[in-house]
Amino acid sequence: MITREQQYYDPPVNAVAALGRGVIAACQGTGQALLMLLGALAYVPQAFTPRNRANVVTQLYTMGIKSLGVVTVVGLFTGMILAVQMGLGLELVKQERYVSTLVCNGILREMSPFMTGLILAASVGSAIAAQLGTMTVSEEIAALDVMGVSPLRYLMMPRLVGLVVMAPLLTIYMDVLGLLGGAIVAATMLGVAPETYYDGLFEFTYNKDFYVGLVKAVVFALIIVSVSCYQGFRTQEGAVGVGRATRRSVIVSFLLILTLGYFVTRLWYS
Amino acid sequence: MIRFEHVTKRFGDKLVLDDVSCEIQAGETFVIVGLSGAGKSVSIRHMVRLLTPEQGRVWVGDDCISEATGRPLERILARFGVLFQGAALLQWLNVEDNVCLPLRQKTRLPDAEIRQRAADMLRLVGLEGVGDRMPADISGGMRKRVGLARAIVTQPEIILYDEPTSGLDPMISRQIDLLIDDLRRRLGVTSVVVTHDLYSALQIGSRVAMLHEGRFVVCAPPEEFIASPHPVVRNFLRAQGIVTLQDVHQAFAK
Ligand SMILES: Nc1ncnc2c1ncn2[C@@H]1O[C@H](COP(=O)(O)OP(=O)(O)O)[C@@H](O)[C@H]1O
Ligand SMILES: [Mg+2]
């Protein structure tokens, strides 16, 4: 059962005790979120059985299709912004023709998984936390628990599948748009012809640059789904609590995406 | 059937259940009455392990539900149907799908039969033909009846009702009372009913328990309950204008 009772403790006696309690609470939270993630992962093989199929397909649809618009705009402009900055630097050393190489590396390895992660955390993650939080405070989660319908299977697993499938796909889509945005800036501002831009693209780009970006996208998807489901399932105290859960899920996801993204990069490029 | 063994429950330093012991017999309708915030919902939530006692144990048949986990817990829970105070319907499913949910998720019955059974249940609670409305579009009283249909669609042996009639108009309330009584008579289900409404408590209850300051101060069949000299019970009865059981039966006869 997901439904948990609130724990009560005596108030901390001093600042050190308060700090210690904060650290312990953070560790407990992390542990519980990871356990939920493992629980939901265990249900993934059943994703397309009759009783789960509809939920999984709905999540795939909402997460993928409904994010396309914002991903398109962000992708194009990320590529353009990168190309402008790289181009300005390269103009100084008269090497504008390498702009596509730099843009390509920056987009594939870092910017598109990162931006996709932030978009998904802000839109999908906050929606998950708010929805599950509302369900928790209105006893819907408790009702599912009592009916023997595991909320991890019925609610979390479809969202997990949705995000883990859609985050890499959206990242690839953003890769393409980012490179396109770079090409526009290269042609209009730096005077680099599209053919030159295209030739430079893959000159110093390796398969690794591509799949590290996808690995990151998957890691970010796991972060978003565990943080937001955890925050949703442990929501307390009515509407105020739902607001708090939503805010926390976005903030914690942002921080983890930023920091873990750095470590994933370092794992492959050190 | 359900046994509380010295159950104590505290939230922070607020004592809600204070060393409660009682046993609910198989096939009876056990009614819990009490003021708002007396801990009626808390005591019901202990029976399905949404809460665990700080001290003491809760037994369901021969199983200790307050200490069970995993599969055994699931097996015990499968014996229950629960109507939550706020109905707890899933907002993105329509009424019919909400009632079908437990069967679709827990059984392998063909869909046509599931829908048939859901339709039967909806008819039973007086909600024919609202199957395709969304929970947000129906009144609170209707939602509650949908919740009731969902609780009984799996044909559980024990049904817990948290305020099944509050917020309903008197006509529908009586109808629900009759339904609860009918389920007991025909199927022999054990029911635990939480209510403010002493009329329905005294009408349908085989025993009525008054929860006050963490204890069942009186726990007796209706005729004894109504005669109880306990001041809290007397106040409660007076507030609802009940002097004798005749008053209650008359209200039902109307
Ligand atoms: N999860 C909880 N955390 C803290 N306090 C609670 C919780 N559930 C119930 N309470 C408190 O316990 C008391 C009894 O609540 P409840 O059983 O809901 O009352 P009622 O008899 O009206 O159903 C209330 O004072 C409520 O504030
Ligand atoms: Mg209550």
Q: Kindly write down the DSSP assignment for every residue of B170-200, as one continuous string.
A: HHHHHHHHHHHHHHHHHH--EEEEEES-HHH
Has residue A15 been placed in a domain?
no
Residue A135 and residue B90: Cβ atoms within 8 Å?
yes
3-state secondary structure of B204: helix
Single out the residue of B104, B125, B40 nearest to residue A144, CA to CA: B104
pLDDT digits (tens, 9 = 90+) for B58-84: 999 899 998 888 889 999 999 999 999
Inter-chain residue contact A139 with B84, CB threshold 8 Å: yes
Helices (H), A148-237: 151, 157-185, 194-201, 207-233
Q: A258, A241, A240, A235: which is closest to A117 by C-alpha?
A: A258
Q: What is the pLDDT of residue B254?
A: 64
**pLDDT > 70 in chain B, percent:** 100
Radius of gyration (Cα) for chain A, nearest Å? 22
Q: Is B88's CB within 8 Å of A143's CB?
A: yes
CA B73 to ligand 1 center in whole angstroms: 24
Separation between Cα atoms, residue B66 and residue B2, nearest integer Å: 11
SS3 content of chain A, % helix, strand, coil (to 5): 85, 0, 15
How many CB atoms sit inside 10 A of residue B13's CB? Answer: 7
Name which of A52-56, A206-210, B75-79, B97-101 the model is least confident about. A206-210
Which chain B residues are within 8 Å of A146, Cβ to Cβ? 48, 50, 77, 80, 82
User: Cα separations (Å) of A73 from A70, A115, A167, A253, B244?
Assistant: 5, 11, 16, 22, 74
Top residue of A43, A62, A139 to mutate, by most chain B CBs within 10 Å, is: A139
Asked whether residue A172 is assigned to any structural domain, the reply reads yes
Check whether B190 has a pLDDT greater than 80: yes
Condensed to tens digits (0 to 9), the pLDDT of residues B220-237 reads 999 889 888 899 999 888
Quick one: which H or E segment has residue A75? helix A68-92
For residue B199, name the pLDDT band (cuts at 50, 70, 90).
confident
Q: Is the CB of B41 under 6 A from ligand 1?
A: yes
Residue of chain A with shortest Cα separation from B147: A143
A193 in any annotated domain: yes
How many CB atoms neighbour CB B20 within 10 A?
23
Mean pLDDT (whole number) for B157-162: 94
Cα B33 to its chain centre, rounded Å, is 11
Angle at B5 (CA atoms; ends B23, B16), nearest 5 degrees: 100
Residue range B103-113: average pLDDT?
A: 91
Q: Does the structure show a pLDDT above 70 at A99?
A: yes
Say if A127 falls within a structural domain. Answer: yes
Q: Rounded to whole angstroms, what are the CA distances from B244 to A28, A255, B172, B205?
A: 56, 66, 23, 15
Query: In this predicted model, what pLDDT tens digit does every residue of A57-80 receive, in sequence order?
Result: 999 999 988 889 999 999 999 999
User: Is the CB of residue B131 below 6 angstroms from any atom belonging to ligand 1?
Assistant: no
Q: How many structural domains does chain A have? A: 1
For residues B50 and A143, what is the distance between their CA atoms, to the nearest angstrom? 9
Whether pLDDT at B244 is above 90? no
CB atoms within 10 A of CB A23: 10
- Residue B240 pLDDT level (bands cut at 50, 70, 90): confident
Q: What is the DSSP string of B229-252?
A: --HHHHHHHHHTT--SHHHHHHHH
Q: pTM of the predicted model, to two decimals? A: 0.91
Q: What is the mean pLDDT of residues A182-209?
A: 88
Q: What is the per-residue pLDDT for B141?
A: 83
ipTM for the complex shown: 0.90
Element (H, E) at A65: helix A50-65
User: Is the residue at A25 inside a domain?
Assistant: no
Q: Do the domain assignments include residue A21? A: no
Mean pLDDT, range B137-149, rounded to an integer: 89
Burial environment of residue A22 by CB neighbours within 10 A (0 to 12, 13 to 18, 19 or more): exposed
- Rounded to a whole number of angstroms, the distance from the CA of B78 to the nearest CA of chain A is 7
| Average pLDDT of span B7-25 | 91
Identify the pLDDT of residue B68: 87
User: Residue B203 has what pLDDT?
Assistant: 87
The whole-angstrom separation of Cα A62 and Cα A51 is 19
How far apart are the C-alpha atoms of B85 and B177, rounded to whole Å? Answer: 16
In a domain, A6, yes or no: no
Provide the residue range defining the domain that includes A45.
Answer: 32-269
Asked if the C-beta of A142 comes within 8 angstroms of chain B's C-beta atoms, the answer is yes
Q: Please report whether residue A115 resides in a domain.
A: yes
Q: What is the DSSP string of B13-29?
A: TEEEEEEEEEEEPTT-E
User: Which ligand sits closest to the CA of B211?
Assistant: 1
Q: Which two tokens stand for residue B4?
A: 């509380």
Distance CA A201, CA A17 (A): 55
Residue from A264, A32, A262, A220 nearest A122 by CA? A220
